[in-house]
Amino acid sequence: MAVKIRLTRRGRKKLALYDIVVADARSSRDGKFIEKLGTFNPNKNPVIITLDDDKALNWVLTGAQPTDTARKLLSIRGVMMRKHLQVGVNKGAITQEVADKRFAEWLESKEQSIAKEIASLSDKKSVARKEKLAAEAKVNAARQDALTAKNNAALAALAEAEAAANVEVEAVAPATTTEESSAAE
């Protein structure tokens, strides 16, 4: 029986989550599996991989063949590196202490690179947010200027209309005052 380490899909439409499982190569993608090793969430940035590294290493050492995607995920988590070092120990090329030391160094460098990536992503987010706020402030200032110009034009038109009305009232008012004064006499 050929055993594979592969992904099974779950989740909803356009928001997939995957389980990392050990399954018979002949079973369907979402069918029966032997053991669940972890989960993979590609919807986050950076992606979230939860994996039982010891179980995965045990399966890889006993002959389970990972698919391409599963191999990449196992490599990210360091399972393939541990397998490589363990094969060297089994052949007698290196000792277990040297293998553990190399793996610890590799794991430390990997954690540093992940921390740098997370920091750069947060920096990019903050820069993008600042740019977006600056662009929004610019648009708001332009709207405010346009509104101020429109209000000033309306006030000027209103002042002209009032001035024209005052001129008409003054033209009509002297005629009525002369008629009133002649009627009063």
CA nearest to 71, candidates 3, 1, 2, 5: 5
In this prediction, residue 158 carries a pLDDT of 87
Mean pLDDT, each 10-residue run in order, the chain (185 residues) = 91 93 91 93 90 94 94 93 92 91 92 89 88 92 92 88 78 58 57
In this prediction, residue 67 carries a pLDDT of 94
Q: Tell me which CATH homologous superfamily contains domain 3-79.
A: Ribosomal protein S16 (3.30.1320.10)
In this prediction, residue 180 carries a pLDDT of 58
In this prediction, residue 34 carries a pLDDT of 93
Query: Using an 8 Å Cβ cutoff, are 7 and 20 in contact?
Result: yes
SS3 of 37, please?
strand
The 3 state secondary structure assigned to 70-121 is: HHHHHHHHCHHHHHHHHHHHHHCCCCHHHHHHHHHHHHHHHHHHHHHHHHHH
Q: Is the pTM of this model over 0.85?
A: no
Domain boundaries, the chain: 3-79
SS3 of 43, please?
coil
Strand partners for 36:
21
* Nearest-angstrom CA–CA distance, 155 and 35: 78
In this prediction, residue 175 carries a pLDDT of 53
In this prediction, residue 160 carries a pLDDT of 86
In this prediction, residue 159 carries a pLDDT of 86
In this prediction, residue 43 carries a pLDDT of 93
